[in-house]
Amino acid sequence: MQTLDALGAGAGPAPIFAALGDRTRLSLLARLSDGEPRSIAALSADTDLTRQAVTKHLHVLEDVGLVSSIRVGRESRFAYRPEPLAAARSYLDEVSARWDEALARLKSFVEG
C-alpha cells in the first residue's frame, strides 16, 4: 500500500499534522471553522498571547493551507480552508483501515 506515502498535500501530510500540533493553532482553527473570517486583532482579543505570536501561528496555518488571508482595508482577514484537513482525515482513515484489515486477517486466521 504505497498510498500511505504517496498521497498528501505537497510534502505529505506530516506538515499538516505538525501545524495542528499546537493548542493555540487548534484553538484558532476551531474558532475559524464556523466560517467567519476574522482579523488578527479579533483573533488576538481573548488570548493571553501577543498579537505577534498569534500572527506567527496564523502564518504557520496559512503555509499549509489551513487558512487563507486577504487584506481588507487596514486589517487582514483570515478564513478557514477545509482542503488540508480533508487530506489529513483521509490519511488517518487509511492508517485506520490498514489496522482494521490486520485485525480482520488475525480474526479469520484464529477462526479458520
Partner DNA sequence: GACACTCGCAACCAGGAGGTTGCTGATATG
Partner DNA sequence: CATATCAGCAACCTCCTGGTTGCGAGTGTC
Q: What is the contact surface with its own copies in residues (CB under 8 A)?
A: 4-5, 11-23, 26-27, 29-30, 33-36, 80, 82, 85-86, 88-89, 92-93, 95-96, 98-99, 102-103, 105-106
Query: Closest approach of Cβ 101 to its own copies, in Å?
Result: 8
Query: Closest approach of Cβ 106 to its own copies, in Å?
Result: 6
Among 7, 51, 83, 106, binds DNA (CB under 7 A): 51
Q: Choose from DNA, its own copies, none: what does 55 bind? Cβ within 5-8 Å by kind.
A: DNA
Long-range Cβ contacts of 25-34 (<8 Å, 24+ apart): 25/57, 25/60, 25/61, 28/54, 28/57, 28/58, 28/61, 28/67, 29/61, 29/66, 29/67, 29/80, 32/67, 32/78, 32/79, 32/80, 33/80, 34/80
Task: Classify burial at 44, counting beta carbons within 10 Å of its beta carbon; exposed 0-12, middle 13-18, buried 19 or more.
Answer: buried
* Residues engaged in binding DNA (CB under 7 A): 18, 21-22, 24, 39-42, 44, 48-53, 55-57, 60, 69, 71-77
